[in-house]
Amino acid sequence: MKIHVLGPAGSYGHEAALQAIHTLSLNEPEIVFEPTNASVLPAAERNEAIGIVPVENSTFGDVVEVLGYLAKQSPSFLLRVIAQVELSVRHCLLVPHEITSVEQLAGLTSHPQAIGQCQDSIRRWGITHIEPATSTAAAAKHVTENPDKKFGALASQFAAKEYNLTVLAENVQSQSDNTTRFFVFSPMNLNAPTGNDKSVLTFRLQNEPAALIEAIIPFATRRINISAIHSVALGAWRYGFYVEIEGHAEDGPVAKALTLMRLCTEELVVLGSFPK
């Protein structure tokens, strides 16, 4: 079995994959690293494999390339969400082994989001030479491959192990409760209702006044909470919507609401229900 996830090795996506393998007791799957978040699900669908993608970060909001892709799918989309993985994002300052203090560093590299999240620490360290990288794992890889540059990387403890770097400082982001939610997509979904589930759906609407309200009012009248909603402009006055609700698609009130919703939306896809 294969699991597709954003690379390179040592990424937060890689870490989420290991967590999913453990939680779902998957048997020695092969992890395949993809170049972008947008390419993970198409690769998983092509290979009838598992794909793990981030959908929301508590600091930066939803992951548009993933939600936009999902909002465009038709009911023939092969994959279903079977689980959610929540990962604490705790950036560390990683350095080559010969560096023992921040003063020895010539500069710093990381993904611009991580640099933004660690502004306070960077200011305290007095580091002014900062080079952006395409991911935190790519930054760690760069530091390992260029030890003479005397650069540090902001990346995870997990990346430190992957690239054999020293952790000079832990938990250096300003916001302490930074988490990323990942969804585990699989060609099969056999999740039965547990009484404490969440469901994900996408649908399309013509751009007409009140069309959105008409579509979601079956949830309001049944006291079903909407925990996330995102519109995606699809051109030509059509809109895709990505919605998360509380409850399992087979729970009585949810099933009834979905039946009503199907009548006033196009291509409603219930992407999956899974325990919260």
Binding residues for its own copies (CB under 8 A):
35-36, 38-39, 56, 58-65, 67-68, 71, 112-113, 115-116, 130, 132-134, 138, 177, 207-210, 212-214, 216-217, 219-221, 223-233, 235, 239
Tell me how far, at minimum, the Cβ of 64 lies from its own copies, in Å. Answer: 4
Tell me how far, at minimum, the Cβ of 162 lies from its own copies, in Å. Answer: 18
Q: What are phi and psi of 257, to 5 degrees?
A: -60, -40
For 195-242, give the secondary structure using H, E and C: CCEEEEEEEEEECCCCHHHHHHHHHHHCCCCEEEEEEEECCCCEEEEE
How many CB atoms are located within 10 Å of the residue 100 CB?
Answer: 10
How many CB atoms are located within 10 Å of the residue 87 CB?
Answer: 19
Tell me how far, at minimum, the Cβ of 231 lies from its own copies, in Å. Answer: 5
Q: Residue 27 or 126: which CB sits closer to its own copies?
A: 126
Cα dihedral 253, 254, 258, 264 in deg (nearest 10): 70
Q: Residue 21 or 224: which CB sits closer to its own copies?
A: 224
Q: Is residue 201 a contact partner of residue 245, using CB atoms and an 8 Å limit? A: yes
Tell me how far, at minimum, the Cβ of 109 lies from its own copies, in Å. Answer: 10
Q: Residue 152 or 218: which CB sits closer to its own copies?
A: 218
Q: Residue 64 or 106: which CB sits closer to its own copies?
A: 64
Tell me how far, at minimum, the Cβ of 143 lies from its own copies, in Å. Answer: 16
